Every structure is written in structure tokens, then in C-alpha cells.
Amino acid sequence: DVKVTQSSRYLVKRTGEKVFLECVQDMDHENMFWYRQDPGLGLRLIYFSYDVKMKEKGDIPEGYSVSREKKERFSLILESASTNQTSMYLCASSREGLRSETQYFGPGTRLLVL
Amino acid sequence: AQSVTQLGSHVSVSEGALVLLRCNYSSSVPPYLFWYVQYPNQGLQLLLKYTTGATLVKGINGFEAEFKKSETSFHLTKPSAHMSDAAEYFCAVSDSGGNNRLAFGKGNQVVVIP
């Protein structure tokens, strides 16, 4: 069965802290994605990666960076957390290739920045 | 750029009544279309998707959607709502590139009234 796991379900951090969100998939997928979800705004793509060490900016990359050192793991980094980064963060993965490939999602990390 | 419009952030439906969630898309290439569901405190799960071929697509839990190119629509229906259908529903369209990016709508929060 397909599985995407995220390191934390809930996280509380202080303004200015460096925050790491980890995502691991066990499906040998090439593509991995980080989204943030806010009420009334749906899902917005922050960054995605189509191979190890490869990344591309999504629609809202400001204030975030990512790292993909191994195929199964994709990390989202908030260099200096701010209160406007309080949100639900969702990781997803998919096979490469066809535009019709399904994205598989993790359970999400709810981040509160105080 | 591809985009999706979902009207009505909150949808109330009586138990046993028809569920109808509307999705209209904009795409510069033949679209691949997806409906995802998010149950409380969970990640997104694929309900169904349209790639090519039959325009009426059946998904899990009794849901189906019909692709209508002339109307640029992909509305989701279920003949009889169940309490367990209370969730948030997202429509998405694939990006024109080959990297499996998706553009999501803002979602519909479905409330089922007993």
C-alpha cells in the first residue's frame, strides 16, 4: 500500500526559529511536492522536486527552501519562521512521466508559529 | 496557466439527498482532471480522475464525475449523501508540463445534515 509519512502532525515554533518539516515516501516515486493549505485558499504549491537534488519553485516559494538528498525524502525548511507561516503543510509524491499520474498525500503537519 | 474554479466554499446537503459539487477548469492543453477528498485531520485522498476515454468517471464511495469539454466542467455527484461524506473536496487540473504539477480549486466543505 502506498504510504507518505510526515515527521510531525502538530508543531509549535517561535518566530525566528528554523523549522524542518520532513516527508518520506515508500513508493520509489520520482516527484515530490510541498503544499500549504489555508482556509478559503485551497492548496498552494511551495516547491517540488522531480529527482534527487533537483527542485523547482512553486507558486509561493518565498520564505521557504527545500532539500532532497535521497529519493524517498523531501524536506521543507523555514529559515526564520514567521507568524504568517502558520498553516497546514501537506507533502505529496507521484511517479514521473504522464500528466495523469496520481499524487499521494501525507497526513499533513499543522504548524503554529507564535 | 491552468486553473480551477469551485464555487461555494461550504455546501450543506441533507442525508439521502443528491450531492453536487461544481468544478470548472481552464486549460491550454487537453486536461487531466482530479477530485480529491480530505476527511478531518487527514491528508488528501483521490476520489476519481479523468484522463482520456469515457467522459463519465466512477470513483470510490459512490461518487462519479462527468467531463464536459464544451462546458469546461467536471462536476462531482453522488446520488444519496451519507453522514460519512462530510469532508472537504478539491478539484484539480494537471499542469501543461510533464512534471505532474496540479492546480487545485479552493475546495468545498460539505456538511451533511441528518
How many residue contacts between A and B have a Cβ separation below 8 Å? 70
| Total residue length of chain B | 114
- β-bridge pairing B10-14 and B108-113: parallel
Which residues does chain B have within 8 Å of residue A40's beta carbon, measured at their own beta carbons? 9, 106
pLDDT for A1 beyond 80? no
Residue at B51: amino acid letter: T
Å from B49 to nearest chain A CA? 8
Q: Do A42 and B34 touch (CB under 8 A)?
A: no
Question: Pick from B112, B111, B108: which is nearest to B36 by CA?
Answer: B108
Q: Do A4 and B44 touch (CB under 8 A)?
A: no
Q: What is the largest distance, in Å, between two alpha-carbon atoms of chain B?
A: 44
Q: Do A40 and B99 touch (CB under 8 A)?
A: no
Residue B14 contacts residue B20 (beta carbons within 8 Å): no
Query: Rounded to whole angstroms, how far apart are CA atoms A47 and A33?
Result: 6
Q: What share of chain B is helix, strand, coil (3-state, %, to 5)?
A: 5, 50, 45
Residue B49 contacts residue B32 (beta carbons within 8 Å): yes
Residue in B38, B101, B106, B109 to test binding to A, most A beta-carbons within 10 Å: B101
Label residue B31 by pLDDT band (50, 70, 90).
confident
Closest-CA residue of A relative to B32 is A100
Label residue B98 by pLDDT band (50, 70, 90).
low
Note the pLDDT tens digit of each residue in A52-103: 989 999 999 999 999 999 999 999 999 999 999 999 999 999 988 777 889 9
Question: Pick from A66, A57, A59, A52: which is nearest to A96 by CA?
Answer: A52
Residue A98 pLDDT: 74
Q: DSSP state, A101?
A: P
